[in-house]
Chains A and B, each alone.
Chain A
Amino acid sequence: MSLLEVKDLRVDLPVEAGMLHAVRGIDFSVDRGEMLCLVGESGCGKSMTSLALMGLLPRRARLTAGRLDFDGTDLTAASERQRSHLRGRRIAMIFQEPMTALNPAYTLGNQLCEAYLRHKLGNRRAARARAIHLLERVGISAAAERLNQYPHQLSGGLRQRVMIAMALMCEPDLIIADEPTTALDVTIQAQILRLLRELQQEFGTAVIFITHDLGVVARIADRVAVMYAGEVIEAAPTAALYANPSHPYTRGLLSCIPAPGKTPPGSRLQAIPGVVPSLVGHVEGCAFRNRCPQAQMTCEQTPPMQALPDDHRARCHFADRLAPAVPQAEMSS
């Protein structure tokens, strides 16, 4: 059984111009110990999804879900108490900007131990010991002294390490990481990603990793769900997705990135023309059809999620009929 099972999750936000359908009925599941990447561009609904799972949506947002099961508990039916227990104790979150995610007024020790103590997992001494252990594990030297430091005394990379340690304090089953390395330099990003992947495998924690970077996804994910305009338009195990991208949007995204050794330097890059449609008001048909090179009359109808071989799904009328012979699709090799 999956650890987290999401069916038909919808998030609607009232805005000045009408109702914004930020997340339009997405399905996904995460198994124990699995790294699932939600990938997409800004406004695709990936962050709204993570906020919805953590119960951090803005107050005016409306959330509906066909199913939202965490480890057998139906979150939609659970009491506020149960939910807050799950969220602090068994689901943890790592944010993009570690500077704003850490409270500048408290020491690291205070913040690391807070959730542990609140969920009564042990006394102060045990919390401190665990904090030191985890700080050492995430590669922070002189951990015991660091506990008395304040967030501003650390560099961005160290702060994100502290955030990872903090997420692990209560031994959660699931960590939601929302663009945790986007604000960091590339060398630091590589180090943090490596650490996160290592710890995830060591502790058997499931991770939902939200990012816009297909390079990051390729290197860390077990499974990938590509989002566009509030929907999951393609989902597959990582290798299958890159070997055989089946939605035109995924193919477009992959061909946008200059690939060293494959794209001749200075040549024109393939770009996806046009812009993302507005999600205000009623949206019908394939949301990508205005930018899709293969769009046809059929695309006026909302495409179903089509099952393909290798546990691969794509929301395109032609997903099963398109040979992977489109230029650039040979990214996989």
Chain B
Amino acid sequence: MSALSRIVSPAASPSPPSAPPEATNRQPPALELCGLSKHFTLGGGLFKRGRTLGAVNEVSLRIPRGQVMGLVGESGCGKSTLAKMLLGLTTPTDGDVLVDGKPLRGADQKALARHIQPIFQDPYSSLNPRKRIEQIVGLPLAIHGLGSPRERSTRVADMLDLVGLPKRAAQQTPGQLSGGQRQRVAIARALIMRPGIVICDEPTSALDVSVQAQILNLLLDLKREFGLTYLFISHDLAVVEHLVDRLAVMYLGRIVEEGTREQIFGNPRHPYTQALLASALTPEPGLGVPDIGLNDAMPDPSNPPPGCPFHPRCPKAEATCLETRPRLEDVGTPGSRVACHFA
């Protein structure tokens, strides 16, 4: 961790300097991230100190209730680590997560589980191959001791019906289902305890396109039905644009741009966002593959470049970018934040 970021970071302060203006709303957001960081130590042994890898650095975000917040970025940018922190799978090095205004730090995992549930990417590895679907979907109820076995099995049956699975699926094992059906099972398991927030970590990227549409429709239906709040992590920009209300773009563990769907897709300000949007290949023949104008210098996350982390690949980089890291600040329209000297 550089000294610079230490100074910039108001470690775990309850109101980060760059919080979006909805902060004044009377109702707390469903999910709020305040200066969240996660650092890993690499290559350390018993007697030597390893290098520090800042997987997530000072991420602040607020997701209003009932909205879909998209999170995009390339592999290794820290979006999965961020998801793990929100799910209580790893403890943040620094910063806080507030669920409905209450801090997550020190909270009981079971209490957390009733508010936040995940849908993972790979429906082949997210279901225990040794269990029947009924057991998998009913597990949350069993663990939390909700209802009698009979009530549980009715709720499981209702849930399976709700996600569009046939009755007989309850007695099958994951190996007997297709990828799309398995993802429906994973959704049923996530929603059976009626959590308010669902973390969708690339929920359709392992599925075929024809199945992807079914799952996206289902996610949208369920969101309307239960008033869910989604954090939707994806690399597919067409899907993100279709689904989200707001979007945050991550690069090397930091958010480099955040705004509403219209702001980001209509007027991307950060050069990385611009490149991302340019590289989305829509099915329009004749356009060819665009030149997105990025350099190839891929940065090493354990040894991030000084100044703006994006400068080695940025076509607009100038001397300032090599020295000072731009802060994520409100630019132009309220609620739209960008970390670029030239935005």
Contacts and interface: CB of A to CB of B under 8 A. Distances in A.
Interface of A: 41-42, 139, 141, 155-158, 185-191, 193-194, 197, 212-221, 238-239, 241-242, 252-254, 256-260, 263, 265-273, 275, 331-332
B143 to A, nearest CB: 31
Nearest to B290: A190
21 contacts: A155-B298, A186-B237, A186-B276, A186-B280, A189-B281, A190-B292, A191-B292, A215-B281, A215-B282, A219-B284, A219-B285, A220-B289, A253-B209, A256-B209, A256-B213, A257-B209, A257-B213, A257-B238, A259-B282, A259-B283, A266-B242
Interface stretch (B108-116, B126-134, B185-193, B214-222): B214-222
B239 A242 contact: no
A275 B276 contact: no
B74 interface: yes
B289 A265 contact: no
A204 B87 CA distance: 52
Given A187-B292, A194-B289, A272 B210 contact: yes
Contact of B285 (A156, A239, A260, A267): A239
Q: Which of B238, B242, B275 has the most CB of A within 10 A?
A: B242
Given A41-B208, A259-B238, A263-B242, A139 B283 contact: no
B45 interface: no
B21 interface: no
Given A158-B296, A186-B280, A214-B283, 13 more contacts: A41-B209, A156-B75, A187-B294, A189-B279, A191-B279, A194-B290, A197-B288, A215-B283, A254-B283, A256-B209, A257-B238, A266-B242, A332-B285
Nearest to A260: B241
Q: Which of B261, B292, B294 has the most CB of A within 10 A?
A: B292
Contact of A268 (B209, B217, B237): B217
B235 interface: yes
Contacts of A220: 288-289
Interface size of B as a range = 35 or more
Contacts of A265: 241-243, 261
B281 A260 contact: no
A256 B285 contact: no
A252 B283 contact: no
A319 to B, nearest CB: 20
Contact of B283 (A186, A212, A218, A267): A218
Contact of B286 (A139, A239, A253): A239
Nearest to B291: A194
A236 to B, nearest CB: 11
B292 A268 contact: no
Contacts of A254: 283
A266 B243 contact: yes
B287 interface: yes
Nearest to A213: B281
Given A41-B208, A217-B283, A253-B210, A258 B238 contact: yes
Contacts of A217: 283
A197 B290 CA distance: 11
Q: Which of A42, A185, A253 has the most CB of B within 10 A?
A: A185
A260 B238 contact: yes
B212 interface: yes
Nearest to A241: B285
Contacts of B294: 187, 191
**Interchain residue pairs A-B with the least CB separation, the first 5:** A190-B279, A258-B242, A185-B74, A215-B281, A41-B208
A187 B289 contact: no
Contacts of B286: 239
